[in-house]
Amino acid sequence: MKIAFIGDIVGKPGRLMVKRYLPKLRDRYKIDLVIANYENASHGFGLTKKNADELLGYGIDLLSGGNHSFDKKEIVSLFESYPIIRPLNYPDAAPGKGVYRSEIAGVPFALINLLGHFAMPPVDNPFVKVRDAVKQLRCEGVRHIVIDMHAEASAEKQALLHLLKSDVSGIMGTHTHVPTDDLSIVEGCCYVTDVGLTGCRDGIIGMKSKEPLDRFLTGIGAHYDIPDKCKTVFRAVVFELDAQGYCIDAQRVTIYDRDHEYVVPAWIE
C-alpha cells in the first residue's frame, strides 16, 4: 500500500499547487491513497464545501483537520457524507469523528486525527485518547493505521512516536507549516515532526508578512491574510506499507513553483 500525505494546505495558492502536482505524484508513485490536512485550505482558516469538493476533485481521498477545523461552520454538515474528520480528542459531543476507517485494495485501514495540548484549544488528553483508539483498532484486526498529529510542540509529536511506534504505520506531524528534516522509519513506523505547508513559501507560515510582523512588534493582533501573489511550494511524504502495516520505504517530495523538485529518502533506524 502506497500513501501520500500532504501537510497543511494554505489557501488558494496551496489548492492550486495540489491541482498542478498531485496528479503527477499519484501517477509516478502509483499511490493508493492520498491524505491531506484541510484546516487552512479556505483562505487560511477552516474548510468550505466548495473547497472540499475542489480538493477531493484534485485526487485527495481523505481530509484531516486541527485547531481550525470548526472555523467554517458549514463543515458540520460535511462530516456525515464526506471523507473528512476532525481531531479525535475534541469532546465527544463535538460534531464529526476523529477516526476514519475504510478498506484500501481490500486491506483494512484507519486514519486518526489528533490535536496537541500546548498552545491549542482545550481538548481531551491526546495520548490517552489515541492509545485507546489504536488498541481498539488492533483488536479488530486493523494494522494499517496512520495518525495526523496536529500540534505546536515538537516534543508532543516525538512522544507520540515513542508511545505508538510499534503499533501504527505512520505519524505525520502538521500545524507549524515549517517542514522538519527528520523523516525516518522507526520500528516500521514512518515519522516526521512536521510535513510543512503547501502554499505560499515567501511570507510567514503561508500568510502575508505584515500582520504577523505588526503583532510581534506591537503585541496587537490582526487578521492574517493570504497573499494574492507569492512564491509557492508543494510538499508531501510518500510512504509504502507492507501487508502487516509496517512502513518499508518513504521519501519527502518537495516541488517549488518553477517545477524544481527535490526528493529526500527517509532515514531507516
- Among 68, 144, 175, 177, which one carries the catalytic annotation? 68
Instruction: Dig out the grid coordinates for 204 from the structure.
Output: 510567514
If we measure between CA atoms, which residue out of 10, 54, 12 comes closest to residue 174?
A: 10
User: Across the chain, where does the E strand assignment appear?
Assistant: 2-8, 33-37, 62-64, 99-104, 107-115, 144-150, 170-174, 184-186, 189-192, 199-200, 232-241, 247-256, 261-265, 267-268
Tell me how far apart the alpha carbons of residues 115 and 197 are, in angstroms, rounded to a whole number: 17
The closest of 73, 19, 82 to 47, measured between CA atoms, is: 73
Active site residue 144: no
DSSP 8-class letter at 104: E
Q: What share of the chain is helix, strand, coil (3-state, %, to 5)?
A: 25, 30, 45
The secondary structure of residue 126, as a DSSP letter, is H
Question: What are the backbone angles phi and psi of residue 91, rounded to the nearest 5°?
Answer: -55, 150
The terminus-to-terminus CA distance of the chain in angstroms comes to 21
Q: Compute CA 64 distance to the chain's CA centroid, rounded to the nearest angstrom.
A: 6
The residues annotated as belonging to the active site are: 68
